Amino acid sequence: MGWMKDETGLDKTPANYVPLTPLSHLARAASVFADREALVYGDMRLTYTQYHARVSQLASALVQAGVKPGDVVATLLPNIPAQAEAHFGVPAAGAVLNTINIRLDVDTIAYIFDHGGASVVICDSQFLPVCMQAIDLMEGDAPLVVEVPDPQAGVPEIGEQIDYETFLAAGDPVFPWIMPEDEWESLALNYTSGTTGRPKGVVYHHRGAYLMTMGTPVTWRMTLHPIFLTIVPLFHCNGWNHTWMMPMLGGTVVCCRDVSAAAIYDAIADEGVTHFGGAPIVLNLLVNAKDNERRDFDHLVEVFTAGAPPAPATLAAIGKLGFNVQQVYGLTETYGHVTECLWNDAWDDLPADEQAAIKARQGVAFPHMEDITVMSEAMEQVAMDGKTQGEIVIRGNSVMKGYLKNPAATAKAFAGGYFHSEDLAIQHSDGSIQIADRAKDIIISGGENISSVEVEGALMGHADVMLCAVVAMPDDKWGEVPCAFVELKEGHDGDEAAMIAFTRERLAGFKCPKKVVFGELPKTSTGKIQKFELRKSFK
């Protein structure tokens, strides 16, 4: 090895080192896949040549509007083409993309505008009134607003702000992109759900997003030219980074503004969709779709599911409908999914219910991550016995830079050299991780720990149950006991006593819900059930 001590002349140069960025994928696709369909939305069909030109126009128009490298450009958009174009056009202007949840209240949106320092907001006409109200509440300078009407969805232009197409038309379709000089430069700003206190601003870098786009196709066994349906909102972890990934594969992004069983089945049948991601609620939509919502298709559709542990009963049911579902896990702070339920061929001969139970695991680290495991509070590896609980901790390049303007929270999250997920899990002998619960969702009844996930999994096996959530209910004797909130399938009636008896056949008595409440469950835009809203009923 001695001859390597002298590295004179072995330096980084433009020939051998380029900062990693997902922008490179679209730059390449514009020539390699020039005439292939890149972006589809109803009657709108863009080739990669057209997609690249429109992205360039957007970047150019932003620079002309005064956007400088490092500035923040926000969006309030559903999954429509403008949101996909912003994912490339904003960073191509050297700016940081801040996709904002379209379901947030006015006050929270105003806080995000101020905290992130948005200089421009690209807003769908449907959400423009909320956007303008939020701007009125801002303490800082008001951003420039660009309105995006959506006539295909029957969303007309209000016309008080500059129109998106007019804004684009002023841009240069051959504008030279402002590429990052350092791959650590900020690419995106995503705010956490903020169920307790103000949401935190999670900052992504170009390197982490690039590596996410490289690791995902390996895990998803993707080949060239997949057809990807945008079910996960592009404002949620940037749609798990899939829009940045698709140009690398010469794939097609099919935009889906409003998620429904009919919309998904239509996209699969009409557009040949091969891949999509979604929370377990999306799987339930497909399993419980009415006959007039279903469409026949003759190819296997690959699905990533995440956001909450899917019930084994749901996984078993959807597997019979032409979908291969793979459980993944991640957080906003990790650019989306970073673990996969990697299948072992030895499990092929197991009974279907056992296979479904294994598929409900969160699994092992994606190939581009460094180490994801379960540790005790003392930061020691827990026993991989499928019983001992600890916290999922994560290390790797697709972990956020930190929380914007919040060094204390960042330091806490990274204590001990890992990102702390605050998710409780067990680890099996093969290293695969299985979530037990969020720390705050564990029910401690008479000194016994009860996993709400385990109780929910039992309830989801009941024929009447569409969705359910289990939370702690105060109890004079036990301190707290499980209470189940159940959303029934259409046309089904709820029987509290029968449902509790059903769980008693599957769980220890102390784990069974002591009360069942029937009704529609509150959900986030990504389909997560809002347990904090359910807990309010006990206050």
d(CA 535, CA 539): 7
The CATH code for residues 23-29+48-202 is 3.40.50.980
For the record, the structure tokens of 303 come out as 């699905």
d(CA 75, CA 97): 8
Kindly give the confidence (pLDDT) of every residue in the chain, 539 residues in length, as a single tens digit, with 9 standing for 90 and above.
466 678 888 999 999 999 999 999 999 999 999 999 999 999 999 999 999 999 999 999 999 999 999 999 999 999 999 999 999 999 999 999 999 999 888 999 999 999 999 999 999 999 999 999 999 999 999 999 999 999 999 999 999 999 999 999 999 999 999 999 999 999 999 998 754 578 999 999 999 999 999 999 999 999 999 999 999 999 999 999 999 999 999 999 999 999 999 999 999 999 999 999 998 889 989 999 999 999 999 999 999 998 776 777 888 889 899 999 998 999 999 999 999 999 999 999 999 878 878 888 899 999 999 999 999 999 999 999 999 999 999 999 999 999 999 999 999 999 999 999 999 899 999 999 998 767 678 887 876 778 888 899 899 999 999 999 999 998 877 878 999 999 999 999 999 999 999 999 988 888 999 999 999 999 877 778 888 899 888 87
Q: What is the model's pTM?
A: 0.87
d(CA 539, CA 531): 13
Q: Where are the domains of the chain?
A: 23-29+48-202, 259-439, 442-538
d(CA 508, CA 471): 17
Taking CA atoms, 29 is separated from 137, 146, 163, 226, 252, in Å, by 42, 27, 28, 14, 11
The CATH code for residues 442-538 is 3.30.300.30
User: 23-29+48-202 and 259-439 share one CATH topology?
Assistant: yes
Q: What is the pLDDT of residues 345-383, one digit of tens each?
A: 999 999 987 887 888 889 999 999 999 999 999 999 999
Q: Where are the beta strands (DSSP E) in 320-381?
A: 323-331, 336-340, 364-365, 369-375
Bridge partners, 485 (sequence order): 469, 517
The CATH code for residues 259-439 is 3.40.50.12780
The strand order across the sheet containing 419-427 reads: 369-375, 390-396, 419-427, 433-438
- Block residue for tokens 């980084």: 12
